[in-house]
A and B are shown apart, each in its own frame.
Chain A
Amino acid sequence: MKEEIKIKTKDLDLFYGSLQALKSVTMDIPAYRVTALIGPSGCGKSTFLRTLNRMNDLIPDVTVNGKVWVDGIDIYNPDVNVPLLRRKIGMVFQKPNPFPMTIYDNVAYGPRIHGIRKKAILDGIVMRSLTDAALWPEVKDRLGDQAQKLSGGQQQRLCIARALAVEPDILLLDESTSALDPASTQKIEDLISELKTNYTIVMVTHNMQQAARVSDWTAFFMMGEVIEYDQTGNLFYKPQHKETERYLTGRFG
């Protein structure tokens, strides 16, 4: 691909104990684009996503072989500062998980733990992040409210704002709209299209139409392997592999 590569994996294997969840995954993920990962349940797309910010380290008994490079740096090198890595690579989860704190404190959490204390600066960051997440108009008068009071769609946008507050380069979205109603899903899809001007986005989705609508590149996973990886238009209209075509036409999944 002629575009700048942000993330590169080579022969990535992952084992949960003795069960192999990822097999020899080799992918180049371009910068400032949306890359979608699709596939049937249990095919390893979420697992793959989590290897990109080493969130799999939190799960006991996980073995990772192969290489993952972000901006040319091998992130599984033992010298890598993992918390710093996770700051550069933000993640938004399937079910909105705001902290049981105020809206303001949720967004300010990231900057605060990385050393920013001055209220004026935090105020600015909070406003910027909520604006970038298309949530500011709805919450600007109630930043002191508990985050739990927001609706599901608002909570998810809050989680996006929270992730944006630490100024990552990359955003990983793990089925972020699965738990939301269509209206909220639409809002977030629009948001993703806007965010890609400044961020590299990798999203897992089980909704093929969403992948077709929003992404520039799509990877089709099955049983831990990448069956096909191409520009979205090509993959959806001219799939090269039989399994891809079968999945896209709904024969399984």
Chain B
Amino acid sequence: MQNDKISVIQLSGHVQYENTLRFDSVVLPRHMKKRQIADWLVRSIGFISIIFTIAFLVAVLIHIAVKGIGWLNLHFLIHTLSVFPEKAGILNAITGSFALMAIVMPVTLVLGAATALYLEEYASKYFFSRFIQIFISNLAGVPSVIFGLLGLSVFGRLMGLRASILSGGLTLSLLALPVVIVAAQEAIRSVPFELREASYALGATHWTTIWRVVLPTAMPGLLTGSILAVSRAIGETAPLVVLGIPALIMKMPDSLLDDFTALPVQIYYWTLDAVLTPEYENLASAAIIVLLVLLLSLNLAAVLIRQRYARLRSS
């Protein structure tokens, strides 16, 4: 034994403890110590980053909660707008957002599944399908405002739907579609080849196999993709604003072609009003809480569906 900082790690790799088994009594050579310090450093930095990020999130949430919680009550949820901030409710906005959801979910599900099916099952795997693939991935990154412009010219003006629920719903569907297509492709690809083989071996055609085996097996993935896309779509403000959806609507919409308002738009305009009338900041915060709860529920639903089917799937 030389000095107290001795290497006790033998060449075979076994560590010989001196007389106890406590980790801190194991003495390591210098190069091991440097690695240990690096490890600790990275871990600490990672930890601090997480704390930092979460702190910001928590700060925002607390601010909103403080401003809005007092104004969030049953009256707020079930009444429509009013000239007096204390009497205003977001029934119009909630109804509008739900109506949008009711359009976006089926449209993205059907179109997304159909596109993904074509890409995965029917298109030749070479140039054409690759090209479409790149196209779709890029669409997913296009700023939402652009979709607003698209919706305005095609649905709003060309098809004459103006600022109706249908117009808003279709615009948001286009916005959400690339994400759903990618998720649907993943879901379809994850159906094991053995299941398709089994179907073919029983004398099924390509379409029968898709309809009876691939789609049902991929359904949980398709559903979660669609739900997540919807949750993104309901939070979008820019496309709706560009489309011309207003915030000051007193009456409830009575058809898909009627004017309406939605939660994010309502929040946006109330925030603008808050400059002159501070109470509107409280209203906006309360509406934000409602929107967050909605988003959380949707994401929770997606997670639950995924879990339930994962449990069913595994033996």
Q: Does A93 contact B (CB under 8 A)?
A: yes
Closest chain A residue to B201 by CB distance? A91
The interface residues of chain B lying within 8 Å CB-to-CB of A133 are: none
The interface residues of chain A lying within 8 Å CB-to-CB of B213 are: 99
**CB < 8 Å neighbour of B198 from A114, A148, A150, A159:** A159
Q: In the complex, what distance in Å separates the CA atom of A93 from the CA atom of B204?
A: 16
Q: In the complex, what distance in Å separates the CA atom of A99 from the CA atom of B199?
A: 9
Shortest B194–chain A CB gap in Å is 4
Over the window 99-123 of chain A, the binary record of Cβ atoms lying under 8 Å from chain B Cβ atoms (1 yes, 0 no) is 1110000000110011000000000
Q: Does A97 contact B (CB under 8 A)?
A: yes
Q: Is the CB of B198 within 8 A of A166?
A: no
Q: Is the CB of A83 within 8 A of B205?
A: yes
Q: Does A218 contact B (CB under 8 A)?
A: no
Identify which of B195, B200, B212 gathers the most chain A CB atoms within 10 Å of its CB: B200
Identify which of B195, B197, B203, B313 gathers the most chain A CB atoms within 10 Å of its CB: B203
Q: Does A242 contact B (CB under 8 A)?
A: no
Q: Is the CB of A84 within 8 A of B312?
A: no
Q: Is the CB of A86 within 8 A of B200?
A: yes
Closest chain A residue to B314 by CB distance? A148
Count of A-B contacts with CB under 8 A? 69
The interface residues of chain B lying within 8 Å CB-to-CB of A162 are: 198, 202
Q: Is the CB of B201 within 8 A of A55?
A: yes
Shortest B222–chain A CB gap in Å is 15
Shortest B249–chain A CB gap in Å is 47
- Contacts A97-B194, A109-B212 given; does A53 touch B217 at CB 8 Å: no
- Contacts A93-B198, A97-B198 given; does A113 touch B312 at CB 8 Å: no
Over the window 179-215 of chain B, the binary record of Cβ atoms lying under 8 Å from chain A Cβ atoms (1 yes, 0 no) is 0000000000000101111111111110010001100
Closest chain A residue to B191 by CB distance? A100
Q: Does A206 contact B (CB under 8 A)?
A: no
The interface residues of chain B lying within 8 Å CB-to-CB of A91 are: 201
Q: In the complex, what distance in Å separates the CA atom of A85 from the CA atom of B201?
A: 9
Shortest A201–chain B CB gap in Å is 15
**CB < 8 Å neighbour of A97 from B197, B205, B313:** B197
**CB < 8 Å neighbour of A113 from B197, B202, B313:** B202
Closest chain A residue to B202 by CB distance? A110
- Contacts A95-B194, A97-B194 given; does A166 touch B203 at CB 8 Å: yes
The interface residues of chain A lying within 8 Å CB-to-CB of B312 are: 100, 146, 148
Q: Is the CB of A58 within 8 A of B200?
A: yes
The interface residues of chain B lying within 8 Å CB-to-CB of A97 are: 192, 194-195, 197-198
The interface residues of chain A lying within 8 Å CB-to-CB of B198 are: 93, 97-99, 159, 162
The interface residues of chain B lying within 8 Å CB-to-CB of A159 are: 198
Q: Is the CB of A53 within 8 A of B315?
A: no
Q: In the complex, what distance in Å separates the CA atom of A78 from the CA atom of B213?
A: 27
Q: Is the CB of A109 within 8 A of B202?
A: yes
Q: In the complex, what distance in Å separates the CA atom of A84 from the CA atom of B195?
A: 19
- Contacts A95-B194, A97-B194, A113-B212 given; does A84 touch B203 at CB 8 Å: yes
Cβ < 8 Å to A, chain B residues 51-81: none
By a beta-carbon cutoff of 8 Å, the part of chain A in contact with chain B is: 53, 55, 58, 83-87, 90-91, 93, 95, 97-101, 109-110, 113-114, 146, 148-150, 159, 162-163, 166
Closest 3 CB pairs of A and B: A87-B203, A97-B194, A91-B201
By a beta-carbon cutoff of 8 Å, the part of chain B in contact with chain A is: 192, 194-205, 208, 212-213, 216-217, 312-315
